[in-house]
Amino acid sequence: MDDHVEQKNIYLEDVSFTSLTDCLQNSLVMDYNSLEKVFKFPPYSSSFKPISPLNVGQIVSNPYLNLNKNSPVVSSSSNEAETKENPDDTNNGMEGNERDQHGVGESSKQLTKHGKKKGEKKEREARVAFMTKSEIDHLEDGYRWRKYGQKAVKNSLYPRSYYRCTTQKCDVKKRVERSFQDPSIVITTYEGIHNHPLPSTLRGTVAAEHLLGHGGGGRGFIYSFPRQHQELLMMNHHPEVHYQSVGSMSYEQNHGKSSYDDNNHQPVVDYGLLQDIVPSMFLKHES
DNA sequence: CGATTTTGACCTGCGC
DNA sequence: GCGCAGGTCAAAATCG
């Protein structure tokens, strides 16, 4: 399995971020499933080029992403711990979410908080993940989170923390853990969709204001994705505009059966408004 | 005093 | 069936 995963764990050594805001001002990542849903992207096509190391910023792919049952693990990581998690995450990326939703207490009640019966499959939430070089575990991303659990990770010295968005009725979660192999890297995995705008107290994040030029109102359909980047992506939503996604991307159930070429589904960047904001080094067009 | 974090217990799925 | 690992709950502790 490690054979599959070596080549993609790429990141630059010379920059570090202290927040996702920092991070995302310099790079861009989103799983394709999200892109499809939010930005009406077409299904994967062969026109997507593999990412070049030159394009990869501090954010690199995440082992939880781009996994599907029918393809070999194409994790980004050569990290043993993460790699070891991949088999699980191959499932967790799929059914794992169901576990999330049908956890402990809920199962005993036969119904989850979402009213789902035990064992009933829940549609997976979109997942977006980052690997970020940072000394700070929990990177500021503009949203408010409550930690609800922490678990030791097998074969890792570092625990994994579980957070949930504190906004009522928002069920977005995120997991934060350090790479076992490179402790300077924080792996943040977002799961779900924020159904609310950034908390007003945080909305004025310097970066967000800077990038957006306004306080921003709720769009009602916001991914667990730092706002300025969502806006950024929205701004660039254009039929012929493609996005570069850094590293691997999750490829969820509804597409899991299609031919999924690990090396050929990376969106290609076409500089649009994006280039005004995102350093071009991270938006290098490959063709 | 409300919000958040900590942490042990518990549940589920999976592999053997 | 059993053990393991991941994920969640919830009471207690801590924080602001």
- Pairwise CA distance, residues A22 & A26, whole Å: 7
Question: Quick check: A247 and A263 in contact, CB under 8 A?
Answer: no
Nucleotides of C under 7 A from a protein CB: 4-10
The low-confidence residues of chain A, meaning pLDDT below 70, are: 1-127, 199-287
pLDDT of residue A22: 55
pLDDT of residue A126: 63
pLDDT of residue A137: 76
CA distances from A34 to A42, A53, A118, A193 (A): 11, 23, 27, 10
| Closest residue to C7 measured CA to C1′ | A100
How many other C-beta atoms can be found within 10 angstroms of the C-beta atom of residue A10? 18
DSSP A174: E
pLDDT of residue A138: 75
pLDDT of residue A155: 82
pLDDT of residue A9: 35
In the structure, how far is the CA atom of residue A151 from the C1' atom of nucleotide B12, in angstroms? 16
- pLDDT tens for A96-140 read 333 333 333 333 333 333 333 333 444 455 667 777 777 777 777
Nearest nucleotide (C1') to alpha carbon of A100: C7
In the structure, how far is the CA atom of residue A144 from the C1' atom of nucleotide B1, in angstroms? 20
* A119 CB-to-strand B distance under 7 Å: yes
Which residue from A51, A29, A55, A53 is spatially nearest to A190, judged by alpha carbons? A29
Q: Which of residues 64-93 of A touch strand C (CB under 7 A)?
A: 84-85, 88-89, 92
- Pairwise CA distance, residues A174 & A85, whole Å: 17
Longest CA span, chain A: 54
In the structure, how far is the CA atom of residue A271 from the C1' atom of nucleotide C9, in angstroms? 46
pLDDT of residue A19: 55
- pLDDT tens for A272-286 read 333 333 333 333 333
pLDDT of residue A87: 34
| Closest residue to B5 measured CA to C1′ | A147
pLDDT of residue A179: 81
* A108 CB-to-strand B distance under 7 Å: yes
Nucleotides of B under 7 A from a protein CB: 3-15
First and final CA of chain A: distance in angstroms? 29
* A118 CB-to-strand B distance under 7 Å: yes
